[in-house]
A and B are shown apart, each in its own frame.
Chain A
Amino acid sequence: MTNLQSLDLFWPELIITVVILTALIVDLCIEKSKSDVVGWVLVIGLLITAIAIWNQDKTTTTLFTDMIVLDPFATFFKLLIILSTLLVAVVSWQNNELDEYRKGEYFTLLGILVLGLFLMASSIDLIMVYISIEVVSIMSFILAGYLKLDTRSNEAGLKYVVYGAFSSGIMLFGLSILFGLTGSTNYFIIQKSLAGLDGSASAALVMALLMILAGFGYKISAVPFHFWTPDVYEGAPTTITAYLSVAPKAAGFAIIIRFFHQVFADGGALADAESLSMTDVPWPEIIGILAVATMTLGNLVAIQQESIKRMLAYSSVAHAGYMMLALPVLSIQTVYAIMVYLVMYLFMNLGAFFVVITVKNKTGGETFDDYRGLGWEMPFIGVVMTLFMLSLTGLPPTAGFIGKFYIFSALISGGSQYYWLAIVGGINSVISLYYYFHVVKVMFLEGERKETLVQPPEVMSGVLLATAIPVFLFGIYWNPVVNWVQNSLIFYVQTM
């Protein structure tokens, strides 16, 4: 579609842009102590955006002269991103870490991040892919280093910049090789010209893919591009950590799925499980090994952590690994499984981080020692945290179990060559049981029982309920999620 025609189908992004500018202007007019108001601008703006997305035409088309697409797949991720941003924005008001700081810019940058994530989920052009990843990365750098008075946060910001610059440099090199081979930046044209290449180009293709994988792998913090994760997650404000572990990861998976399906597969039709076998290179094995390395490393290192925030950081690396397990098969079922997992993961992971925030607001710490006897002192927090830990382990009857169930069943239906991935995934879930239950054990079985009960603030309780209820409910009745994912599995496909 031409630029002018596209505007009609671009309302959600336009609304976000207006929200960003409004937030910026509102922030100019108010004092530091009242800068929470900007959060309201963002929250209301995001709600309006969600309505706009919901009411959008269900058409499937490209926008802005083939730069981005509008399809149910992108819409699914947009709604997921809005949901996580809303939860994080509400919790940001309650996060004591941010009290000394002006929050206007914080919420404005969060808005720009949302715009970048939207574009990540929908771009089909290498230039747009790169720019959207940069929008997300640069906003994340700033937000990770937002606590200026805290040296850990400074470290987080700086490390994130260095790793981010490095991996996007490598990715750009890969993209340029791809451009040199095909002469186009459009996914569908690249796909068509790649199909016409002979074997002499396969070395360059491998090089390009590995380099591009470095850029995408960095966004979902897959091993061996995960080195930034623990320090950034630990130093950043906890609300931002929670956000980084969910929303950019979801958009990263969206971009990976779209890229591999539409460039290296059959153009998005996802007809069969052999779709990645276009080159002579064993892609399923390479991605499978990366997935196994990611979750094993995440789990093994998580065991040794003293700080719960850092433990959750490694645990989120492990969860990226579980989702990557399904990538080598690349059939429509695995995409379906990854999307179901992302929905479940959103609630349980955000919930766990919100508990960390509540506890830190009260005790000022985030190590296991601060959680001693917490289950008796703050029963609500104890119960909710137990639920999240159960779910992150993947035990029934919680959402995490359903997510894992879909991933493993997709792997098994992919054929016997993927059984080993399912087995390794199972072993890893057992390992993770150890450190997730350590939290539960510390909360209920250690420390002295205090007689006084402490209630978390009402807003926090509300948000925790808003994440805990889905975690429990989707463990028993997951039809709504599955139906939603089912209806969203429509890609824009262009036959050249």
Chain B
Amino acid sequence: MADYTFWLIAAITVISAAFVVLNNQLVYSAVALLFTLFGVAGLYVFLWADFIAGVQLLVYVGGILVLIIFGIMLTNRISSVRISHKSVQQGVGGAVIIWLFIFLSIVILKTPWLNQTAMEPASSVAQVGKLLLMKYLLPFEVISVLLLGALIGAATLSREDP
């Protein structure tokens, strides 16, 4: 049962991601992105990363995606603009992608990945919190500086007065 669910979720993720890229109407792409992000959250659940799955839903689906859709809706006439995906050199690109896909598949199947024995699924929130404030304290703090910089940058670039 778990296997079927996994393949279903994986298929939803991949197909809707392809739809995001291949569709040339912005709103449709944004809606397809919803399913991709949901699918990724599902994959997190399979990895027993329940906290990250929840955050994925809250931040990406609940926040960023809504923001994208708002952005599209509130921008004047953007819904009628057709983004053309007439990319150049499709033949070369296709060949590279197929080659890359085959190579990566072989790599993924043949490599002796480090396996960890399965643990009892437990709530990961406490562990994540501990790691963030102990082992990964410095990255955690640096990210806050990064966000500060990004905020300043966004405000600077979007401000009307130079």
Q: How far is the CB of B106 from chain A (nearest CB, A)?
A: 7
Chain A interfacial residues counted at CB < 8 A: 49
A109 touches B103 (CB 8 A): no
B153 touches A203 (CB 8 A): no
A3 CB contacts on chain B under 8 angstroms: 134, 137-138
A142 touches B156 (CB 8 A): yes
Report the bound CA distance from A3 to B140 in whole Å: 12
B145 touches A201 (CB 8 A): no
B106 touches A203 (CB 8 A): yes
A178-212 near B? 1/0 per residue, CB < 8 Å: 00111100000000010001101101100100000
B161 CB contacts on chain A under 8 angstroms: 32, 102
Whether A180 contacts B142 in the complex (CB less than 8 A), given A127-B136, A138-B153, comes out as no
The reply to whether the CB of A386 lies closer than 8 angstroms to some CB of chain B is no
A141 CB contacts on chain B under 8 angstroms: 153
A105 touches B145 (CB 8 A): no
B28-48 near A? 1/0 per residue, CB < 8 Å: 000000000000000000000
Contact of A201 among B111, B116, B148, B153 (CB under 8 A): B111
Report the bound CA distance from A198 to B112 in whole Å: 9
Report the bound CA distance from A119 to B138 in whole Å: 10
Contact of A127 among B103, B116, B139 (CB under 8 A): B139
Q: How far is the CB of A18 from chain B (nearest CB, A)?
A: 12
Report the bound CA distance from A127 to B142 in whole Å: 11
A132 touches B145 (CB 8 A): no
Q: How far is the CB of B110 from chain A (nearest CB, A)?
A: 6
A148 touches B157 (CB 8 A): yes
Report the bound CA distance from A203 to B138 in whole Å: 33
**B: interface residue count bin:** 20 to 34
Contact of A203 among B110, B146, B149, B156 (CB under 8 A): B110
A12-35 near B? 1/0 per residue, CB < 8 Å: 000001001000100000001000
B107 touches A203 (CB 8 A): yes
B145 touches A181 (CB 8 A): no
The reply to whether the CB of B135 lies closer than 8 angstroms to some CB of chain A is yes
B64 CB contacts on chain A under 8 angstroms: none
Report the bound CA distance from A146 to B158 in whole Å: 11
The reply to whether the CB of B11 lies closer than 8 angstroms to some CB of chain A is no
Q: How far is the CB of A496 from chain B (nearest CB, A)?
A: 16
A105 CB contacts on chain B under 8 angstroms: 152-153, 155-156
The reply to whether the CB of B14 lies closer than 8 angstroms to some CB of chain A is no
Name the interface residues of B116-162: CB closer than 8 Å to any CB of A: 116, 134-139, 142-143, 145-146, 148-150, 152-153, 155-157, 161-162
A17 touches B145 (CB 8 A): yes
Whether A108 contacts B104 in the complex (CB less than 8 A), given A17-B145, A145-B157, A200-B111, comes out as no
The reply to whether the CB of B114 lies closer than 8 angstroms to some CB of chain A is yes
A181 CB contacts on chain B under 8 angstroms: 111, 113-114
Name the interface residues of A133-168: CB closer than 8 Å to any CB of B: 134-135, 138-139, 141-142, 145-146, 148-149, 157
Q: How far is the CB of B131 from chain A (nearest CB, A)?
A: 10
Contact of A119 among B116, B142, B162 (CB under 8 A): B142
- With A20-B148, A142-B152, A146-B156 already in contact, 18 other A-B pairs whose C-beta atoms are closer than 8 Å: A3-B137, A64-B137, A65-B137, A108-B152, A109-B149, A112-B148, A115-B142, A116-B146, A125-B139, A134-B146, A138-B153, A139-B153, A142-B157, A149-B162, A182-B114, A203-B111, A204-B108, A207-B103
